Amino acid sequence: MGTPSFVSGGVSRAGSLLGGVSRGRARVVYFTVAFMIRFARLVSLFVVMVAGVALLAACGGGEDDATTGTQLPEDFPTQQVPLVEGTVLTADGSRADGWSVTVQGSPDVGNVLDAAVTTLTDAGFTESQRSSDGGQRVVVLSADKGGTTYWVQVGTTAGAAGGGSSVFYQVSVG
């Protein structure tokens, strides 16, 4: 008996086998190659389905999830330094130390760095420098708002957590 089998209910007798199932007390079921292939396909399908459900659960499925994010610090100058449309991924800092903010741009923004720079220049900021190094692009802008000078470094990094659609801001008061 070189074929693997499962035995239940007692010992089988080789002479009593008929059609893959033994007669009598002992019941031996032999799995054919075709059955094992079907079983492997079903298990694979089940694993893929479980992984898909887990992925959907982790990513969220609601439209509300796209609008939630981190709150800006209370003293962040939202009126003076407008951010690109999107979801705030990270935000920290203070007026004394400067603020760091990462925003994942909304899908309809297009090039998120260009959109962020346009948002700032439309609000009265002047671009003073552009640099690009190793996949990181940074634009430095400044504006005088109500007697206070705001310096903003806005940039993107190819390997950023939010992907190519995220932009980071470094804001300081000078």
Q: How confident is the model at residue 18 (pLDDT cuts 50, 70, 90)?
A: very low
Q: Which of 78, 109, 106, 107 is nearest to 91 (CA)?
A: 78
Name the residue with tokens 């080789």. Answer: 14
User: So where are the chain's domains?
Assistant: 5-63, 67-173
* DSSP codes joined into one string, 56-88: HHHH---GGGGT--PPPPTT--TTTSPPPSEEE
| pLDDT above 90 as % of the chain | 39
Average pLDDT over residues 116-122: 95
* pLDDT at 10 exceeding the cut of 70: no
d(CA 104, CA 84): 9
Q: Which residue has the higher pLDDT, 163 or 96?
A: 96
**Cβ-Cβ contacts under 8 Å for 96 (sequence gap 6 or more):** none
Mind listing the pLDDT tens digit for each residue in 64-105? 444 468 899 999 999 999 999 989 999 999 999 999 999 988
Q: Which residue has the higher pLDDT, 119 or 49?
A: 119
CB distance 29 to 4 below 8 Å: no
Q: Supply the Cα-derived Rg of the chain in whole angstroms.
A: 31
